[in-house]
Amino acid sequence: MTEKERDSIEKIFGQIYEINKLSEQGCTSEVRKILTESGTYLLKSSFYSRYREWLRMEALVLEKLTNQHAIPVPRYFGFFEDEKSSHLVMSFEKGTTLTTALKNAKSQIEKLNLIRSFGEFLNRLHETNIPESLYRENDWLEEQLIRAEKYLHEGQTEGTHQLLEQLQSTKLHPVSQTIIHGDCTTDNVLVIDGKVSFFIDVSGMTAGDPRYDESLAIGCFDDESHIKMFYQGYRRYQVSKEESQYFNEGLYEFF
């Protein structure tokens, strides 16, 4: 950590006693646990322009959700940046990602219970009223296609021109928008006391198309029995093959 970064943190959170890099790291950021005079926090830092933009979006979402309890997300404490890096400070949450919990599960039953709980948790999110602070009038899918096109022009995506054209010409019929996580994989939810009960990595959380979350969630499982279990928890809708492919093998390629 640079002197300047340290100063910025200490100005707000008091003297830093300890900094520990987490054993589980994401792909787009560096995450550290920091112990300061005023408490323990999670410091998430990004260094590349695209990822810094995402981190800024995440900070904004967390800030907008500060005064609500309906959606379990980390508490926002601060965001700062300099020429080379951006940093988000949030509450440090106990728990492990669902990816890790599934890897460590001691029995098939434990695994299936976790997967059902993931379904229940996502179901609950999609049935939560959209907080006023995240409400938007615009069509989410239309905006994502515009964003995909921008990333394509900037040359920073795995998606291709051909794929984008296909997504534009076969755009899914709209469904009513709900609050969505926006990157709903087993990496981005935490398991606490055997239950999936916390969202992290929330830069994409907004009013959007719930089929995107659902598709990404079931895309994490190869086994049919796991997908079936997910739907024992997620009961509001089941995406068709066409819908899940549109997102998993289509739109998601751009982000």
CB closer to ligand ATP, 90 vs 122? 90
Instruction: Kindly identify the residues of this chain, within the stretch 184-203, that bind ligand ATP according to CB under 6 A.
Output: 187-188, 200-201
> Least distance to Mg ion from the beta carbon of 130, Å?
23
Using the minimum distance from each CB to ligand ATP, give the nearer residue, 24 or 165: 24
Q: Which partner from the list Mg ion, ligand ATP, none does 184 bind, CB cut-off 5 to 8 Å by kind?
A: none
- Secondary structure of the chain as H, E, C letters: CCHHHHHHHHHHHCCEEEEEECCCCCCCCEEEEEEECCEEEEEEEECCHHHHHHHHHHHHHHHHCCCCCCCCCCCEEEEEECCCCEEEEEECCCCEEHHHHHHHCCCHHHHHHHHHHHHHHHHHHHCCCCCHHHCCCCCHHHHHHHHHHHHHHHCCCCCCHHHHHHHHHCCCCCCCCEEECCCCCHHHEEEECCEEEEECCCCCCEEECHHHHHHHHHCCCCCHHHHHHHHHHCCCCCCCHHHHHHHHCCHHHHC
Q: Give the total of residues touching Mg ion (CB under 5 A).
A: 4
Work out what residue 29 binds among Mg ion, ligand ATP, none; the CB cut-off runs from 5 to 8 Å by kind.
ligand ATP
Nearer to Mg ion (CB atom), residue 45 or residue 188:
188
**In this complex, which beta carbon is closest to ligand ATP, that of residue 33 or of residue 124?**
33
Smallest separation, CB 21 to Mg ion (Å): 16
Subset of 197-216 contacting Mg ion (CB under 5 A):
201
**Dihedral (Cα; 11, 13, 14, 18), 10-degree rounding:** -120
**Within positions 14 to 33, which residues make up the interface with ligand ATP, using CB under 6 A?**
22, 24-29, 31
Of 26, 19, 23, 24, nearest to 5 by C-alpha is 19
**Interface of this chain with ligand ATP, residues 88 to 117, rule: CB under 6 A:** 90-93, 97
Distance, CA of 96 to CA of 50 (rounded, Å): 26
232 binds ligand ATP (CB under 6 A): no
Q: Least CB distance from residue 92 to ligand ATP, whole Å?
A: 5
Stretch that binds ligand ATP, among 86-94, 110-118, 152-160, 236-244 (CB under 6 A): 86-94
Interface residues with ligand ATP (CB under 6 A)? 22, 24-29, 31, 42, 44, 74, 90-93, 97, 187-188, 200-201
Interface residues with Mg ion (CB under 5 A)? 26, 187-188, 201
